[in-house]
Amino acid sequence: KTRGSTGTTIRARSARLFSRAQHIFPGGVTRTTVEKDPVPIYVAAGEGCRVVDVDGNRLLDLNNNFTTLIHGHAFAPVAEAVAKALRTGTCFANPTEHEIALAELLIGRIPAMEQVRFVNSGTEAVMFALKAARAFTGRTRIARFEGAYHGAYDWAEAGQNGTIRAENSGRRLARPGYRGAPLSVARNVLVLDFNDIGSLERDLVPHASEVAAILIDPMPSRAGLLRPMPDFIDALTNIAHEHGILLVADEVLNLRQGYHGASPLYGLAPDIITAGKIIGGGFPIGAVGGSAEIMAVFDDDGAPPRVPQGGTFSANPVSMIAGKIAMEMMTPEMFAELDRLGERLRNRLTRAVQKRDAPFSICGAASLFRIHPKWTTPQRYCSTRMDAKETECMRAMSRSFLKEGILLPFGAAACLSTPMTEADVDEIADVFDAFLEGYSR
Ligand code: PLP
């Protein structure tokens, strides 16, 4: 670590880059999700489970590009295969064998995926999943859970931040994702509470015959990494089946929970599933899959209904090759080892909380975890909301991790990667324990 005379880590180069970026990017960054506290940490390189910033600090990365890099940074098998692929062309209007190979691999593992289409991002995967559900059912409305993040499609953004009262009718509408977003969308998005059967009965059942899809992330990360309750999943499934609503599992993030993805772990049997992040081996990707009957909506030669789906870079061979190699190396043994490390970490974090009798709780599963500034582990999104003091406390926590050379994402899921060891996991727990010690004093 490079430390200044005051004991703080030097970020002079990051600060200089940020001041240059201020003039050319709105807010100085190209992604809203970049953390600036007070400046973004500009990365020069990634190596395994660490990134090296432009000031030479080596940081243990618990973000892994928003949970994408299950094998860590610059994973050699992927880097070598991609370097070779670059010499034979990076994108074609024609199909390649590589897309078939990755599709076969995904279909072999993910129970809900009989057929698949590739796109370039999770946002697009969710967009096409919802379009497919509409085309298949002939219905327009979508139901989703408050707080869950599903990317930037208008229909997936509406209602993420709850509901508003319509000015004229006083009816509850999904809060649009941004000012000026179409109210026609907001009117057609039902906002439900995760893990709340009462909300399904109140907010979904009365409109069920108009709903094409229920969009559900099996363990919504932005909403708090909430563990789905079995009776809630049962009730949701029953309502969906009874009313002919398609279940769309958004596993863009949670596919990393296991060899077969997350849905089977929680008793969810979706009709349509979206994937992204880990399946591209570090390159842009998204995938939407489902039964052959539903996926027929994307078949140009088939009978209507049809959903046009193209994409200039969809199924580009670089993402396909990288994804295939990365996925092949995600063996059942690899998932078991990440589960073990994740369990060890969550247990050690929980023990630290108990030892200090501090107002924190730990949640997550497999390689994912999240720390809440709450006495009990939240089961509902409403109990994850932080007041100003809790928000400041979580910011202080991220800062104290950073001081010790650990990148802990703020307000999002943190995750492990395969290059991490027990020593790394124990270090994370020790840094948390030291933070708690300072906090409780
Ligand atoms: N769905 C979920 C559950 C996600 O976590 C994300 C991204 O974090 C998305 C969709 C959007 O994916 P992308 O950022 O690739 O567009």
What is the per-residue DSSP string for 122-185? HHHHHHHHHHHHHHHHT--EEEEETT----S-HHHHTTTT-EEE-TTT--EEEPPSSTT--HHH
Residue 46: φ, ψ to 5°: -120, 140
User: 57-71, 187-201, 256-270, 300-314: which range is least confident on average?
Assistant: 300-314
Q: From the alpha carbon of 148, which atom of ligand 1 is closest?
A: 3
Which residues are CB-neighbours of 79 under 8 A, at least 6 positions away? none
What average pLDDT score do residues 155-173 get? Answer: 90
Best probe residue, ligand 1, of 32, 126, 274, 368 (max atoms within 8 Å of C-beta): 126
From the options 3.80.30.20, 3.40.50.620, 3.40.50.300, 3.90.1150.10, give the CATH code of 12-70+331-440. Answer: 3.90.1150.10
The CA distance from 325 to 332, in Å, is: 15
% of residues, the chain, pLDDT over 90 = 92
For the chain, give the mean pLDDT: 95
% of residues, the chain, pLDDT over 70 = 98
On the question of pLDDT at 7 being above 60, the answer is: no
217 lines ligand 1 (CB under 6 A): yes
126 lines ligand 1 (CB under 6 A): yes
252 lines ligand 1 (CB under 6 A): yes
Long-range contacts of 340-347 (CB under 8 A, 24+ apart): 341/367, 341/416, 341/420, 341/422, 341/425, 342/366, 342/367, 342/368, 342/369, 342/416, 344/422, 344/425, 345/369, 345/416, 345/425, 345/428, 345/429
121 lines ligand 1 (CB under 6 A): yes
Q: Domain segments of the chain: what residues? A: 12-70+331-440, 76-328
Cis peptide before 26 (omega within 30 of 0): no
Q: Tally Cβ neighbours within 10 Å of residue 237.
A: 16
**DSSP H or E run through 401:** helix 388-403
218 lines ligand 1 (CB under 6 A): no
Cα of 123 vs centre of ligand 1, distance in Å, is 6
Cα of 124 vs centre of ligand 1, distance in Å, is 9
147 lines ligand 1 (CB under 6 A): no
Long-range contacts of 35-42 (CB under 8 A, 24+ apart): 35/398, 35/409, 35/410, 37/395, 37/398, 37/399, 37/410, 39/11, 39/14, 39/15, 40/14, 41/11, 41/14, 41/402, 41/407, 42/13, 42/14, 42/17, 42/18
Could you tell me the fold of the domain covering 76-328?
Aspartate Aminotransferase; domain 2 (3.40.640)
pTM for the complete prediction?
A: 0.96
How many residues are present in the chain? 441
Tens of pLDDT along 386-411?
A: 999 999 999 999 999 999 999 999 98
283 lines ligand 1 (CB under 6 A): no
Tens of pLDDT along 187-225?
A: 999 999 999 999 999 999 999 999 999 999 999 999 999
On the question of pLDDT at 439 being above 90, the answer is: no
Cα of 270 vs centre of ligand 1, distance in Å, is 18
pLDDT number for residue 3:
38
Instruction: Look up residue 383 and give its DSSP letter.
Output: G
What average pLDDT score do residues 24-29 get? Answer: 96
Cα of 285 vs centre of ligand 1, distance in Å, is 10
Which residue puts its alpha carbon closest to atom 5 of ligand 1? Answer: 253
Tell me the one-letter amino acid at 433.
D
149 lines ligand 1 (CB under 6 A): yes
Domains 12-70+331-440 and 76-328 share a fold: no
In 230-375, DSSP assigns E strands to 246-250, 272-276, 286-290, 361-363, 368-372
At 172, is the pLDDT very low, low, confident or very high (cuts 50, 70, 90)?
confident
Residue pair 297/274 in contact by the 8 Å Cβ criterion? no
Q: From the alpha carbon of 284, which atom of ligand 1 is closest?
A: 15
The CA distance from 263 to 275, in Å, is: 12
The CA distance from 37 to 410, in Å, is: 10
The CA distance from 364 to 377, in Å, is: 10
At 438, is the pLDDT very low, low, confident or very high (cuts 50, 70, 90)?
confident
Three-state SS at 116: strand
Which residue puts its alpha carbon closest to atom 10 of ligand 1? Answer: 150
Tokens for 376, please give them: 């009990």
On the question of pLDDT at 441 being above 80, the answer is: no
Tens of pLDDT along 271-315?
A: 999 999 999 999 999 999 999 999 999 999 988 889 999 999 999
Tokens for 326, please give them: 């990365």
Which residue puts its alpha carbon closest to atom 1 of ligand 1? Answer: 150
At 10, is the pLDDT very low, low, confident or very high (cuts 50, 70, 90)?
confident
Q: From the alpha carbon of 285, which atom of ligand 1 is closest?
A: 15
At 50, is the pLDDT very low, low, confident or very high (cuts 50, 70, 90)?
very high
